């Protein structure tokens, strides 16, 4: 039986909100990203500057992300999947691509940079269930953060 997983925002007294993934059972939490000042999920109301993590879902075999995509990309897949990074990234653009299906040990997620390298390579692979990769564009290439 696969554990249940949910993302939630936790307010921290005197600090920035944290987005955590809660997995039951066993009870554990992982910090996914500390982000402030982003809009909410696409298609839902979000207030810029309110500390809500921007997110979107990718299903199926994957796709190339649109320019300007930031925040969390949740990948729900049942076969190997390829996610293409935005073709014209902005310096400082940050993305976290997460295996939200818990299937990447069986069906890896390949993240490709297209013409832009990722830490000097053409791609990175997410190959552990529930894992993720966080990337920032330096103006020259994507770097893992």
**Across 15-42, average pLDDT:** 45
Range in 45-49, 60-64, 73-77 with the lowest mean pLDDT = 45-49
CA 78/CA 103 separation, integer angstroms: 7
Residue 21 has pLDDT above 70, yes or no: no
Q: How far is CA 80 from CA 19, 40, 76, in A?
A: 27, 28, 11
What pLDDT is stored for residue 8 in this prediction?
56
Residue 86 has pLDDT above 90, yes or no: yes
CA 12/CA 3 separation, integer angstroms: 26
What pLDDT is stored for residue 60 in this prediction?
83
What pLDDT is stored for residue 18 in this prediction?
54
pLDDT tier, 27 (very low <50, low <70, confident <90, very high otherwise): very low
**Across 45-70, average pLDDT:** 74
Q: Which of 37, 77, 34 is nearest to 57 (CA)?
A: 77
What pLDDT is stored for residue 30 in this prediction?
44
Residue 100 has pLDDT above 90, yes or no: yes
């Amino acid at each position: 039986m696969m554990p249940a997983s949910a993302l939630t925002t936790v307010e921290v007294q005197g600090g920035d909100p944290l987005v955590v993934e809660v997995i039951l059972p066993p009870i554990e939490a992982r910090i996914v990203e500390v982000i402030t000042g982003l809009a909410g999920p696409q298609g839902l109301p979000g207030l810029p500057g309110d500390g809500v993590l921007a997110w979107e879902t990718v299903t199926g075999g994957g796709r190339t992300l649109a320019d300007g995509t930031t925040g969390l990309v949740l990948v729900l897949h049942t076969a190997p999947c390829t996610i293409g990074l935005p073709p014209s990234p902005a310096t400082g653009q940050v993305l976290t691509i997460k295996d939200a299906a818990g299937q990447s040990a069986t069906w890896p997620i390949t993240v490709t940079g297209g013409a832009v390298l990722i830490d000097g390579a053409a791609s990175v692979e997410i190959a552990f269930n529930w894992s993720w990769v966080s990337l920032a564009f330096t103006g020259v290439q994507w770097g893992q953060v």
